[in-house]
Amino acid sequence: MRAFVFSGGANRGALQAGATLALLEAGITPDLIVSSSVGSINGAVLAASPSLDGVRQTAERWKTVRCDEVFPGNRARSLWRLMRGLGSLHDNRALRRFILGLLPANVHRFSDLTVPLFVTATRYQTGEMHLFGHDPQERLIDALMASCAVPPYLPPYRYRDELYIDGGFVANLPLSVAVAQGATEIWALEIGVDAASASPAISMRGSVMRSFETLMRMQMSREHELVRLMQQTGVIVHRIQMLHYSSIDVHDFSHSAALMGLGYQTAQTYLDTRASFAPVQPPASPSRRELLRAAWQTSTAAQANLARLRVESLRNLRVESLRNLWPRRQPAVVPLPVDKNGPVV
């Protein structure tokens, strides 16, 4: 079974739209889709309409997306939200409209999809992974809003009396989820972070963002460690890594058209340079299957610990932001009166 795995990538989601177009033009289509964060939007649209026409429509939409269609308001509005204790810099109503505008009008629930889809989200309270897609009656909009609720930009998403945040915090590239669902061939559309890119400014926000990037690379490396084990069990992994524009601000959507083209070129280059598909190996022996399952469970536990660290960092970020808005007053220094004989004491 062939799976497409879409990673998170914030405002660089257009990279995946371009890469997906190249794969479908080459006749490579998914039997299963697993996705996280912004990748859940691209994955859901593909699962609803796994055709060239559907992917081209998505790609064209990514070319024209504006910041206010995802992150509404200006800096003053964001500061007002922080002062009111609303928990995020932007509300999520614009994102909801953007997602609903991409999905076909007749697609509302997982049962309406043409290709099976699984979407990761992070439980806000515990930092554990929640996987949408097992219940065919669940609404797609709930899964996608939960998976894309990236703090501090967007608020946690409430679903069935529980809060969820961005799925990328616990499984940014959920390869192991695809294997657990029976995938034997994986096409990983990974929007990565270029470690050599320009470092953010030395500030509270820059330090937090760099910390998140470091934790994300640690998590991704754990997923990549599983690739070798997957290959031993007969799972083929095609890794299409896209590092373009990894240093741009999350509010900057002005490069979306260029990103879509770069994603297309990256996937096309991979298709052109690989000699041929690796043959699918026979099913793995039970012992190897158990080994892979144990490794997946270990990786999931480690990712949950990383997610807890990120959640705690985000809570600290909110406190520090308020402190910066309202700096503590220093006690005034009153000079001693002075006369001709010196200070009066």
Q: Which residue has the higher pLDDT, 307 or 127?
A: 127
pTM of the model: 0.78
Q: Which residues lie below 8 Å from residue 159, measured CB to CB, with a gap of 6+?
A: 142, 146
Least confident of 55-64, 129-138, 166-175, 304-313: 304-313
Lowest mean pLDDT among 155-164, 204-213, 261-270, 313-322: 313-322
Q: With 70 as the cut, is the pLDDT of residue 241 above it?
A: yes
Q: 194 Cβ partners below 8 Å, 6+ apart?
A: 243, 246, 247
Whether 218 shows a pLDDT value over 70: the answer reads no
- What would the two tokens of residue 176 be? 């192991």
pLDDT over 80 (residue 279): no
| Between 303 and 191, residue with greater pLDDT | 191
The residues facing 338 across adjacent strands are 343
**Which of 67 and 293 is assigned the larger pLDDT?**
67
Q: How far apart are CA 283 and CA 237, in angstroms?
A: 15
Q: Tell me: the pLDDT tens digits for 64-90?
A: 999 999 998 888 887 888 777 777 889
Comparison of pLDDT for 116 and 243, the residue scoring more: 116
Taking only the tens place, the pLDDT of each residue in 117-126 is 999 999 999 9
Task: State the pLDDT at residue 338.
Answer: 47
CA atoms within 13 A on the CB side of 53: 2
Decide if 159 contacts 111 (C-beta within 8 A). no
Q: Mean pLDDT, to the nearest integer, of 13-37? A: 96
* Predicted pLDDT of residue 244: 80
C-alpha distance from residue 271 to each of 7, 32, 40, 71 (Å): 19, 20, 24, 35
Q: What is the share, in percent, of the chain residues with pLDDT greater than 70?
A: 69
| Separation CA 89–CA 66 (nearest Å) | 17
pLDDT of res. 333:
46
Give the integer Cα–Cα distance in Å for 280 and 262.
Answer: 29
For 132-170, write each residue's pLDDT tens digit: 999 999 999 999 999 999 988 999 999 999 999 999 888
Question: Residue 171: its pLDDT value, please?
Answer: 87
Determine which of 3-17, 48-62, 194-208, 225-239 has the lowest per-residue pLDDT on average: 194-208
